[in-house]
């Protein structure tokens, strides 16, 4: 049997860091929004061991890849000695703050559980996911969510009314930002490092309304402090997008992707045309409707 699955990405509508924890991770509150722009994964039971292939030659296909580690962890935990073949068609940009790798790992856990007859309960999958990476539990479900802890504690919400019928414009500048780098460099920005809890709840309540100036004001990302200082072009992107028809613009996760929220797909396409005539054609871009 062969299983084909889509592996979506996310943006962080808010990422508020609440200080460094004794274990080296950062406490945070984040509002994560699924984005229907997907990698494609194919899974097949085959022989023994894990064989991973990938359309993107830059990516490792051994235990350095989260898909490989997710599969390994799944097979060991479920006590399965059979092997799997996995193929990844990569469409989501790398080191982009869009959670592509985390989503791939979660999709792998869900797909293997299906392929092998659901040997693991969803609590167990969540446990494996959290051990593999802070963002991975979010991708085990498909709703917007408030994530707390180091990002692994998920409280799902129904789709936010403010986003209904709107569209994302995603812009990746052609360079990535390493997540550990962004967190380490936050140390130079004490205010951004030690945010006050409560901003997430405030944003979530605004997202039930259609008060766009208010929502745009409540979008926030602590990791912009180091990222926009090192890469000022990302700040210029946001200013341009806001001045040229976007309802709001922010960096997602640890960057480097900037996302804009636009009134409709048509509006996002028109903002994108203006963006290209100002900044050229070198960025990776996508327009994605929001359901």
Interface positions with ligand C5P (CB under 6 A): 25-26, 28, 133-135, 150-151, 179-180, 183
Contacts 24+ apart (CB under 8 A), 154-159: 157/204, 159/291
The CB-of-102 to ligand C5P minimum distance in angstroms stands at 7
The CB-of-152 to ligand C5P minimum distance in angstroms stands at 8
The CB-of-180 to ligand C5P minimum distance in angstroms stands at 4
The CB-of-46 to ligand C5P minimum distance in angstroms stands at 29
Closest by Cα among 161, 18, 11 to 92? 11
Closest to ligand C5P by CB, 6 or 21: 21
22 contact partners, CB below 8 Å, separation of at least 6 = none
Closest by Cα among 232, 272, 281 to 255? 232
Other beta carbons less than 10 A from residue 142's beta carbon: 11
Enzyme catalytic residues = 10, 135
**3-state SS class at 192:** helix
- Determine which helix (DSSP H) or strand (DSSP E) holds 278, and give its type and residue range: helix 265-279
Closest to ligand C5P by CB, 137 or 240: 137
The CB-of-25 to ligand C5P minimum distance in angstroms stands at 4
Closest to ligand C5P by CB, 38 or 223: 223
Instruction: For the chain, give the longest Cα–Cα distance.
Output: 57
Closest to ligand C5P by CB, 183 or 275: 183
Q: How many residues does the chain have?
A: 291
8 Å CB contact between 195 and 222: yes
Closest to ligand C5P by CB, 93 or 133: 133
Distance (Å, whole) CA 93 – CA 178: 13
Closest by Cα among 165, 257, 183, 258 to 18? 183
Distance (Å, whole) CA 52 – CA 61: 5
């Amino acid at each position: 049997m062969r299983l084909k699955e889509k592996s979506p990405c996310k943006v962080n509508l808010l990422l508020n860091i609440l200080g460094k924890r004794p274990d080296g991770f950062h406490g945070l509150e984040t509002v994560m929004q699924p984005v229907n722009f997907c990698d494609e994964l194919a899974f097949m039971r085959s022989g023994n061991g894990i064989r991973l292939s990938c359309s993107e030659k830059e990516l490792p296909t051994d235990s350095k890849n989260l898909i490989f580690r997710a599969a390994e962890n799944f097979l060991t935990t479920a006590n399965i000695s059979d092997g799997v073949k996995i193929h990844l068609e990569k469409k989501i940009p790398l080191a982009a703050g869009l959670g592509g790798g985390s989503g791939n790992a979660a999709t792998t856990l869900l797909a293997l559980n299906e392929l092998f007859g659901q040997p693991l309960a969803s609590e167990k999958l969540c446990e494996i996911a959290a051990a593999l990476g802070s963002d991975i539990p979010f991708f085990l479900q498909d709703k917007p969510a408030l994530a707390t802890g180091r990002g692994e504690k998920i409280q799902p919400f129904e789709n936010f009314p403010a986003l209904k019928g709107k569209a994302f414009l995603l812009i990746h500048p052609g360079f990535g930002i390493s997540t550990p780098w962004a967190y380490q460099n936050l140390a130079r920005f004490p205010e951004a490092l030690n945010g006050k809890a409560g901003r997430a709840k405030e944003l979530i309540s605004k997202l039930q309304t259609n008060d766009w100036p208010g929502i745009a004001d409540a979008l926030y990302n602590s990791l912009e402090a180091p990222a926009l200082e090192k890469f000022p072009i990302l700040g210029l992107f946001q200013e341009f997008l806001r001045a040229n028809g976007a309802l709001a613009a922010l960096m997602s996760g640890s960057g480097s992707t900037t996302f804009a929220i636009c009134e409709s797909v048509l509006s996002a396409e028109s903002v994108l045309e203006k963006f290209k005539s100002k900044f050229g054609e070198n960025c990776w871009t996508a327009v994605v409707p929001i359901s």
